[in-house]
Structures are given as C-alpha cells and as structure tokens.
C-alpha cells in the first residue's frame, strides 16, 4: 500500500500563491526547458522536472525524459520534498518505505533515484520542486551536488518572479496582463496538444464599454474598478486552474482546447451562461451582457499581434450582431477594415463639396395624391469606395461623435434647400433624420433654433424624424429636447414605427405630430394577413394620439389603395417616387414645368 504524502501546514496559503502565479496548465517555456535540460546533463540523470504541486496533482512546468504532463499528487516524490526546505534525496526508492510501493517505482518509469530541491517563494511558501530522477540507483549525492541542485531551484524561482513582475501583471486584478498573454500565446502556438484538439484564444468581455461608463458616472471609478476585479475573479474561478489574463479594461482572456469549432461554441455557450448569472457588487445587482470572442491559434492566425486584433474583431462582431459570441474569421477583418475606412473618410467627406448630397423622396397625401413634403436622405459618393449607403455609414457614425457633424451638415443643407423652395412659393415639408445621439446632445435644439432664427423659414415646414430606439436609450433627455423642438414650431415624426420598442407608454410623453409606419409591414402587402392586422391597429393608434400617419415603403398600386382605404393619411415609397436630387423634384412635381 503506497503511503500518501502529508499535507503541509501552510497548504491553503501555498495553493493560493501557486494559483496566483498563473503557471499551471500553461505552455512550455524555453527558459525553464533549458534549465531542466542542463540539469539532466550536469547530474547525468535521464529525467529532470520542474514540478508544481497542485491540490490533487503534480503538474510539470518543464520536463525532460518524461512523457506525462502530470501525475496524481499521491504518487509525487515532490509532494514529500515540499515538507522540508532542505532538498529531498532518495538514493534507492526500493529501500525507502515511503516509495517502495509507489506506482512510479513499481511501474514505468521505474524510478530509483530522486533528488528534489523545493521551489520556495519570497514568502517562504513551497510551490513544488526542481528535481532530477533516474531508473538507476545512486551510491551518493554529495554536498556540492545538493548545492548545485539548490541553485537550479533558485534560478527557476527567479524566472517565476520575472513572469510575475510588474511588466507582466495587471495592477488592478493582479492577473497576468496583455503582454504576458501575447507571449504565452506565442508559446502555445508552438506547443499544440498532441491529442488532436485545437487551441483557441478566447476573450471574455465582462460588460460592454457603455455599461462600464454608465457605472463609472453613477457610482465612481473605484466602484467600477471593484466591479471589474470581481468579474475577473469570477471568470478565473469558472475557467481555472488554467490561467486567465486581463488584456483590456473589461476583457479577460484565456486559452481553451476544443476538438473543433462546434465544440468550442458549446464551451463558450456554457461559459456565457454561467458568467451571465445576475450578481451583486457591494449590494447593487448587475446583469451585464457578457460577450465572447475567439480565434484559432492554428495557422494562418498564429501571428502574435494578429491574435489580439482578431479577438477585438470577434468581440466587436458579436456585439454588433447582438450575439453572445463570435469566432474570428478573416472575413470579419474585411468588414472591420471597411468600417474603419468608412469612418476615417467621413471628416474628409464633410469637408469636400462633391461627396455628400441630399436626395429628397416625395411624400403624398393618400386621399388626393398631392405632394405634402419630402424626406431628405443623405447620399455619399466616395471617390474610391463609390456610393456608400446611409444604412451602412450612419450606424457606424452613430457609435462616434461624427454623427453630430453629419447631422449638422444635413440640417444646414436641408434648411437651405427648404428656404429655396419656400422662396419659390412651394409649401413642402422637409423631413430630416436625426439619430439618438443628436437628441441626447443638449446643444442640438439650440443649433436648430439659431439656424431658424437666422432664416425666414417657416419652422412648421421642417420635420425631425427619429426612431423609437432613441427614446429607449434616454427617454428623459430626448423627451425634453423634443419638447423644445416642438415649442420652436417644428414637426416631430417617429420613424420606422412598429419594429423597435414594444412599450408604447413613451407615446404619451413625446410631442410627436407624425407616425411613420415601418416599411417592413407595408412591403408585404397584401400577402401577409398579420401585417394587415398590425397596420390597421397602428393607424388607429396613431390617430388616437392625434398624429398624422405615414406609410413608408409603398412599392405597389395595391398597397397604395389599401392604405388609402384604411385611412392612412400619407404615403412614401418607390411606387410613388424614389429619392431624387433637388433639381429633379421640380420635374416630378410638375411634369410639364420646364423649371
Ligand atoms: P429611413 O429614414 O427609414 O428612410 C427610408 C429609407 O427607405 C431610405 O433608404 C429610402 O430610400 C428607402 N425607401 C423609400 N421607399 C422605399 C420603398 O418603397 N422600398 C424600399 N425597399 N425602400 C424604400 P436610404 O436612403 O438608404 O436610408 C436608409 C436609412 O438611413 C434611413 O432610413 C435613415 O434611417 C438613415 N438615413 C438616411 N439619411 C440620413 C441622414 O441624413 N441622417 C441620419 N441620421 N440618418 C439617415
Ligand atoms: Mg426617415
Ligand atoms: Mg423609416
């Protein structure tokens, strides 16, 4: 019956120190490997190991002459060597009652000789050993050899301390940092498991950047730091004992092995579920959206700097697609690079006089067919990228302050055009699209007020369109701003109504004048009976709130007739007219005119 090694008195602190070093289950490190190779040559042994003694196992950070990466702790000579600061020397295991029945002695690799010097931290805790082993017995191991073995152990500990040093540690969480992550990834790439599984770098965003920012402004930076620290700990506990790294303010990374992508997705799904469970920090409950991104460490993604960028791209993609995770593929890069290029080109487009243009799409009264107004829609013709749809660049700009500059450009151009039409004696309402961020920016109503004050334009001829999501984001400020705009005499339209926000209570608080029914309901007419029911209900709802109801996306005569028969006030769509430059509008309004 093998004798199990006793547990040292400081076991709890010892394990905490060991786990805190984030060495377990990490890839081979060339520095440690040089040390063990040298030791086996110097001592003439077939095996040399750097063994870390974990709770139930010993795990080899470096090994020469041994195939396995770990053994049970109960078989570990090193677990005995831990108990004493002096090296443990066993010249013949068969003569030692502690080891005579040990499976590593009775079976492969048939150990006989063992000499192990403990790896001792600056706090005096023993993590494991630097040891040399051989299947042949020895006659002796002299003081000089013991001294040399101790030196090897000290050298190994110096490397451990370096890996733990400031440059490799994140000060907030005490986790290894991004530099260490990228260095370890490089080692992992060269040390792929031999069981056929693939390695993936995985980034876990513990909350969205916006969530963190809100937390900082509501509770202060210290609170937000504490939240990130606690979240990082939760990730470490969920993933451990493999190391986790903090690679960005809210992003914790690790390396996971999986047979294939589907298996990885399953793992990420489980992780996401566990980490998403609501938790409280200092008594305040949180249920942040956890997002994961992953990238395979197999070629061709293996380049170092790419790993970090690929993880960023995967996270960004998952967030944009409202998915819990995404795995990086080169196509994601193409999309991100285009997005980046578009964003970078916006300031130039705003400054150039030939890239941006407003097109105007007529809106007609469905009862008599007269044109009541036009919607201003932005067109961008980039010298190299060609025509870029607002559906592509507006959502990108909305994530940055650039949307404010775009809106300012649109407002100026549209007001100038409206003024020209008013001066020409046409009574056309010009509708402008603005984004949530504009409405949440306090100076927005001031800008409009000042532009209107400097013109002769009738404010009632300008309509501001916004989508329901703007209200969902910040109902209070948006409501205030809209009331100011309404007080200036402008019209207010809720755009794309019916698809965004199922809580209609905001309709009571928002001084809207117009409801624009989303085109997805209209385009399916008359085939989809459900859409018919919804459309009729929305028209009634709009009228009950006293709004004019406008149907968007009228593509057929049949849709036009149906909407008119249901009492919908106005319509807009390709069947009536496509958006067109201002110069063409005269011809459309009055085909006989030569204007
Ligand atoms: P939106 O405000 O809902 O504008 C209506 C969109 O539907 C326009 O697309 C228009 O060309 C298109 N459309 C009109 N009738 C039909 C139809 O019968 N069938 C179909 N399939 N489509 C129709 P566009 O111009 O590509 O604009 C897309 C979106 O981009 C707009 O949706 C609006 O949300 C945004 N956008 C456009 N211009 C601006 C702008 O100046 N500022 C802001 N913030 N957003 C803008
Ligand atoms: Mg619109
Ligand atoms: Mg719309």
Domain residue spans of the chain: 11-163, 178-328, 339-594
Mean pLDDT of 396-411: 92
Provide CB contacts within 8 A for 290, sequence distance 6+: 204, 205, 206, 207, 272, 275, 276, 324
Structure token pair of residue 371: 């044109």
Residues 6+ apart with CB under 8 A from 330: none
The residues whose Cβ lies within 5 A of ligand 2, an ion, are 433, 465, 495
Cis peptide upstream of residue 300 (ω within 30 degrees of 0) = yes
Q: Say if strands 356-365 and 570-571 run parallel, antiparallel, or are unpaired.
A: antiparallel
Burial class (CB in 10 A: 0-12, 13-18, 19+), 211: middle
Pocket of ligand 1 contains residue 40 by CB under 6 Å: no
Asked whether residue 320 carries a pLDDT value surpassing 80, the answer given is: no
Instruction: Report the C-alpha dihedral over residues 118, 124, 125, 131, rounded to 10 degrees.
Output: -10
409 lines ligand 1 (CB under 6 A): no
pLDDT, tens digit (0-9, with 9 covering 90-100), for 572-593: 999 999 999 999 998 999 876 5
Contact by Cβ (8 Å): 418, 457: yes
CB 463 within 8 A of CB 429: yes
- Residue 377 Cα to ligand 1 middle (Å): 6
Beta-ladder partners of 89: 115
The rounded mean pLDDT for the chain is: 91
Q: Report whether 35 contacts 29 (CB < 8 A).
A: no
- Pocket of ligand 1 contains residue 390 by CB under 6 Å: yes
Per the structure block, which two tokens stand in for 71? 């053994």
With a cut of 90, say whether residue 21 has pLDDT above it: no
Q: Rounded to two decimals, what is the model's pTM?
A: 0.64
Closest by alpha carbon to 162, among 29, 39, 55? Answer: 29
**What is the pLDDT, as a whole number, of residue 502?**
59
Mutate to test the pocket of ligand 1, among 342, 377, 559 (most ligand atoms within 8 A of CB): 377
| Kind of pairing between the strands at 356-365 and 514-517 | unpaired
- Whether 136 is in the pocket of ligand 1, judged by its Cβ within 6 Å, is no
Window from 72-81, 183-192, 244-253, 271-280 with minimum mean pLDDT = 183-192
pLDDT above 90 coverage of the chain, percent = 67
* Centroid of ligand 3 to alpha carbon of 159 (angstroms): 62
Query: Residue of the nearest CA to atom 21 in ligand 1?
Result: 553
User: 59-113: per-residue pLDDT in tens?
Assistant: 999 999 999 999 999 999 999 999 999 999 999 999 999 999 999 999 999 999 9
Cα(549)–Cα(493) distance, integer angstroms: 9
389 lines ligand 1 (CB under 6 A): yes
Is the pLDDT at 503 greater than 70? The verdict is: no
Q: What is the rounded average pLDDT of the residues 1-15?
A: 89
User: What distance in Å separates the CA atoms of residue 227 and residue 365, rounded to the nearest whole number?
Assistant: 55
Return the H-helix or E-strand segment holding 320: helix 304-320
Return the CATH fold of 178-328: Alpha-Beta Plaits (3.30.70)
Measured CA angle at 564 (ends 561, 570), to 5 deg: 120
Q: How far apart are CA 317 and CA 314, in angstroms?
A: 5
Residue 506 has pLDDT above 80, yes or no: no
Confidence of residue 284 (pLDDT cuts 50, 70, 90): confident
Q: Are strands 491-497 and 462-467 parallel, antiparallel or unpaired?
A: parallel
Closest CA to 214 of 313, 281, 288, 293: 288
| pLDDT for the residue numbered 302 | 52
441 band by pLDDT with thresholds 50, 70 and 90:
confident
Describe the crossing of helices 330-351 and 390-397 by its angle, rounded to 10 degrees.
90
User: Computed over its alpha carbons, how large is the radius of gyration of the chain?
Assistant: 34
pLDDT bracket for residue 595 (50, 70, 90): very low
Ion ligand 3 nearby residues (CB, 5 A): 495-496, 552
> What does the DSSP assignment read for 79-125?
HHHTT-SSPEEES-GGG-TTTTT-HHHHSTT---EEEEEEEE-TTS-
Which position has the token pair 């603005």? 434
Which residue is closest in CA terms to ligand 1's atom 3?
A: 496
Question: Could you tell me what percent of the chain has a pLDDT over 70?
Answer: 97
- Rounded CA gap, 427 and 61, in Å? 80
Q: Is 303 a residue whose pLDDT tops 80?
A: no
Ligand 1 touching residue 555 (CB < 6 A)? yes
Alpha-carbon gap, residue 517 to 539, rounded angstroms: 8
Return the CATH architecture of domain 11-163.
2-Layer Sandwich (3.30)
Q: Residue 505: which pLDDT band, with cuts at 50, 70 and 90?
A: confident
Assess whether the previous peptide bond of 240 is cis (omega < 30° from 0): no
Q: Which span out of 265-269, 283-287, 387-391 was modeled with the highest average pLDDT?
A: 387-391
Distance CA 393, CA 400 (A): 11
Query: Which ligand 1 atom sits nearest the alpha carbon of residue 407?
Result: 42
* Record: fold of 339-594: TIM Barrel (3.20.20)
The order of strands in the sheet holding 325-327 is 245-248, 251-258, 198-205, 291-296, 325-327
């Amino acid at each position: 019956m093998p004798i199990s090694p006793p547990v040292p008195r400081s076991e709890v602190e010892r394990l905490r120190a060991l786990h805190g070093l984030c060495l377990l289950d990490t890839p081979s490190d060339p520095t440690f490997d040089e040390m063990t190779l040298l030791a086996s040559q110097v001592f003439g042994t077939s095996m040399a190991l750097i063994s870390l003694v974990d709770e139930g196992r010993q795990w080899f950070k470096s090994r020469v002459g041994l195939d396995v990466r770990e053994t049970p702790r109960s078989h570990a000579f090193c677990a005995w060597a831990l108990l004493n600061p002096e090296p443990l020397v066993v010249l013949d295991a068969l003569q030692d009652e502690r080891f005579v029945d040990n499976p590593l002695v009775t079976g492969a690799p048939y150990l006989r000789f063992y000499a192990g010097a403990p790896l001792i931290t600056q706090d005096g805790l023993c993590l494991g050993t630097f040891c040399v082993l051989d299947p042949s017995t020895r006659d002796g191991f002299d003081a000089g050899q013991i001294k040399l073995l101790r030196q090897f152990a000290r050298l190994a500990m110096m490397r451990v301390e370096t890996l733990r040093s400031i440059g490799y540690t994140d000060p907030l969480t005490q986790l290894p940092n991004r530099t260490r992550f990228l260095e370890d990834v490089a080692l992992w790439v060269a040390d792929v498991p031999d069981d056929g599984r693939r390695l993936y770098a995985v980034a876990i965003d513990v909350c969205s950047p916006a969530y963190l920012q809100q937390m900082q402004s509501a509770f202060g930076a210290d609170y937000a730091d504490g939240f990130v620290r606690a979240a990082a700990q939760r990730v470490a506990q969920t993933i451990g004992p493999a190391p986790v790294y903090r690679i960005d303010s809210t992003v914790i990374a690790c390396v996971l092995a999986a047979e294939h992508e589907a298996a990885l997705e399953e793992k990420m799904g489980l992780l996401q579920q566990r980490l998403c469970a609501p938790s409280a920090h200092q008594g305040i409950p949180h249920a942040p959206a956890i997002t994961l991104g992953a990238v395979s460490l197999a070629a061709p993604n293996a380049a170092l700097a790419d790993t970090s960028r690929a993880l960023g791209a995967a996270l960004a993609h998952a967030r944009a697609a409202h998915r819990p995770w995404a795995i990086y593929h080169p196509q994601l890069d193409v999309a991100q690079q285009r997005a980046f290029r578009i964003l970078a080109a916006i300031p130039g487009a705003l400054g150039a006089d030939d890239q941006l243009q407003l097109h105007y799409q007529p809106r007609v009264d469905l009862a008599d067919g007269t044109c009541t107004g036009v919607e201003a829609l932005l067109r961008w013709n980039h010298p190299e990228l060609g025509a870029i749809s607002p559906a592509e660049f507006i959502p990108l700009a909305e994530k940055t302050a650039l949307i404010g500059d775009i809106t300012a450009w649109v407002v100026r151009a549209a007001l100038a055009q409206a003024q020209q039409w008013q001066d020409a004696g046409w009574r056309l309402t010009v509708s402008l699209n603005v984004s949530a961020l504009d409405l949440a920016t306090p100076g927005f109503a001031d800008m409009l007020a000042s532009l209107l004050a400097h013109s002769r334009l009738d404010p009632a001829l300008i309509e501001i369109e916004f989508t329901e999501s703007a209200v969902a984001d910040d109902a209070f400020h948006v409501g205030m701003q809209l009331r100011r705009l309404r007080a200036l005499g402008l019209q207010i339209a809720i755009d794309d109504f019916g698809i965004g926000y199922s809580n209609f209570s905001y309709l009571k608080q928002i001084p809207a004048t117009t409801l624009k029914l989303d085109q997805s309901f209209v385009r399916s007419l008359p085939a989809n009976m459900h859409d018919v029911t919804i459309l009729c209900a929305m028209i009634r709802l709009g009228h009950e709130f006293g709004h004019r109801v406008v149907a968007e996306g009228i593509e057929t005569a049949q849709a036009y007739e149906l909407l008119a028969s249901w009492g919908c006030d106005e319509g807009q769509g390709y069947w009536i007219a496509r958006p067109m430059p201002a110069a063409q509008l005269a011809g459309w309004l009055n085909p006989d005119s030569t204007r």
